[in-house]
Structure 1
Amino acid sequence: MDVQVNSIVGRRSYRCDVLFRVIDIQEKDNEQIAILYGEDYRLIADAPFQDLVQINQEERSKITKEVESLEEQSYELFQQDIHLLREQLDYEATNGYSEDVSYFQVPGRVLHLDGDPVYLKKCLDLYEKIGISVYGVHCQEKEMPYRIGSLIEKYQPDILVVTGHDAYSKMKGKKADLNAYRHSKSFVKTVREARKKVPNLDQLVIFAGACQSHFESLIQAGANFASSPLRVNIHALDPVYIVAKICYTSFMNQVNVWDVLKNTLTGEKGLGGVETKGVLRIGMPYKPINDQ
């Protein structure tokens, strides 16, 4: 079988339930092993060549269309939420529509660290589509704890996303054992380092984790939102929807956890968090500068 780096494959042993991109090929005990990144889910895995099935373009297109349909549904629901949030801001800023005032919005700054450059680009495109200013940084998961301090100092974010790829392995231990996860330990260390810089959960809102990540450890380390309570896979774009909800909520209001999760593609099985304030600030009056 002509499996190469960047080939799209499925795993026979899992009935090809997830599409993977081959990112590396290694030799182990005289056997070729493919290192795999989920094509739509933030999952990392490895598999011997004999377990791989190459996915042809027709099959890939069919699955891609199904995923894109889910993404579009989630985006439309999010747009409805944003419309309601803007109506609420209008009502509050104009004292119940009784005053004719103009105002401006000061949105939060987002720093997004991603272990996958392809997913980072996909997330940055969605941030732009939604209208959120973001600094995107590609960084290998194991390097994140050592880079996060200087990145926070450089960008001074209001919201931090720490994500990439992860996976739980029964062979390495029980679900409670942090060592049984591919990158959860690195995510936890990164959150702890970030909290050394900004301890307050409302001054720096953190989302951390990827597929099957150790949710409890991430929350205990100081994340506001994390994956994955039931150790399920999360979609590549889920962190963006969580961040966007917080960005468009006033800092005077708390973000209801369920309101944040309901329009993600994964939902409460793969994502969870604690009560958190929004980061949007309203200013007035808005006086546009006219060119003379």
Structure 2
Amino acid sequence: MTINIMDIVGRESYNCDLLFRIIDTKEVNGKKIAILYGEDFRLIADAPYEDLVLVNQPMQRKISQKVQLMEEQSLQLFRQDVNLLRRKQEYQVTEAYSKPSNYFQLPGKVLHIDGDPNYLKKCLTLYEKIGIPVNGVHCNEKEMPGKIGSLLDYYRPDILVITGHDAYSKALGEKNDINAYRHSKYFVQTVREARKKLPNLDQLVIFAGACQSHFESLIYAGANFASSPSRVNIHALDPVYIVAKISFTPFMERVNVWDVLRNTLTGEKGLGGIETKGVLRAGMPYHTNQSEEV
């Protein structure tokens, strides 16, 4: 059976554990190599064509259903968290319910820069479900450092997401060598450029990284949260759950790192960070015709 660009495949040597889309091909020593993007995980990989297995529609649906169940469970837990945060906020604003709850909330604004247009679309859909104001920009990982300054000036976000695809290659070096990673150095450069403009960790909250990214370098460059401490794959939607928790946490409170990670799909092996202030602000009075744009 012929395998073509944009087909959904699995890797036989990995027992087809993940779904990939073929996005390009190259030739190495006379052998045809496919460049693969993960369908649900932010991983980029190379594989010889003879290792690829074309995944039929029924199998795609079966694997996708398992991932969707994980996503739904994570979203449900996150909504429970947000509901608790809102109740706590209402209790404080109304002085233990002794005053009318005539107030409104302004969640933190997000700028989400993604190296994958399909993942960006999925993330924007989830932001909309959760109710977070967001602007999404598709940008090749290598171009992010040169574009981040103008994007920050234009969108002026409270939270910045820098993500796309990444991967560690043992053939290129040890795990502590950033040059052994596909895109980590570009993510690091982008974080540094962002911090030149907004050095305060609480003025601009940054999430950076993708599958297997060089976590330590991203944190030291100035990211509040990053992937991947254990160099594992992260789910495409994990950055959304990270920043959503921060977006809905009041700016007078600090977000416990474990509270941020526990409802993600990957957990602490794939994600980590430092203590960070929330960015939600409450105001009053609330009017029914009040614009959501402030």
1:119-158 superposed matches below 5 A: 119-158=119-158
Question: Which residue identity is paired with 2:102?
Answer: S
Q: Name the structure 2 match of 1:2.
A: 2
TM-score, normalized by length of structure 1? Answer: 0.97
Q: How does 1:209-220 map to 2 (within 5 A)?
A: 209-220=209-220
Unpaired segments of 5 or more residues in structure 1? none
Q: Sort the Cα spacing of 1:182 and 1:97 in 2 relative to 1 into closer, same or farther, 3 A.
A: same
The alignment partner of 1:268 has SS state of coil
Q: Write the distance in 2 (CA, Å) between the matches of 1:106 and 1:13.
A: 49
Q: Which AA in structure 2 matches 1:99?
A: K
Aligned residue in 1 for 2:23: 23
Distance 2:53 2:76 in 1: 34
- How many angstroms apart in 2 are the aligned matches of 1:95 and 1:280? 18
Map 1:185-204 onto structure 2 (within 5 A): 185-204=185-204
Deviation at 1:136, TM superposition (A): 0.3
Q: Distance in 2 between matches of 1:175 and 1:55?
A: 31
Length-normalised TM-score, structure 2: 0.97
CA distance in 1, matches of 2:265, 2:171: 28
Identity of aligned residues (%): 70
Q: Matches of residues 69-108 of structure 1 in structure 2 within 5 Å?
A: 69-108=69-108
Structure 2: any 5+ residue segments left out of the alignment? none
User: Deviation per CA, 1:130-179, whole angstroms, max 9, x where unpaired?
Assistant: 11111100000000000000000000010000000000011111110000
Tell me which residue corresponds to 1:32: 32
Aligned residue type for 2:250: S
Q: Specify whether residues 198 and 46 from structure 1 end up closer, same or farther in structure 2 by C-alpha distance, changes over 3 A only.
A: same
Write the mapping of 1:218-233 to structure 2, written as runs, cut at 5 A.
218-233=218-233
Q: Is the 8 A contact 2:90 2:101 kept in 1?
A: no
1:102 to 1:182, Cα distance in 2 relative to 1, 3 A: same
Q: Cα RMSD between the aligned structures?
A: 1.0
How far apart are the structure 1 equivalents of 2:49 and 2:165?
21
Partner SS state of residue 206, structure 1: strand
Alignment deviations for residues 49-97 of structure 1 (CA, whole Å, 9 cap, x no partner): 0111111111111100000000000011011001100100100100111
* Stretches of 4+ aligned residues off by more than 4 angstroms: none
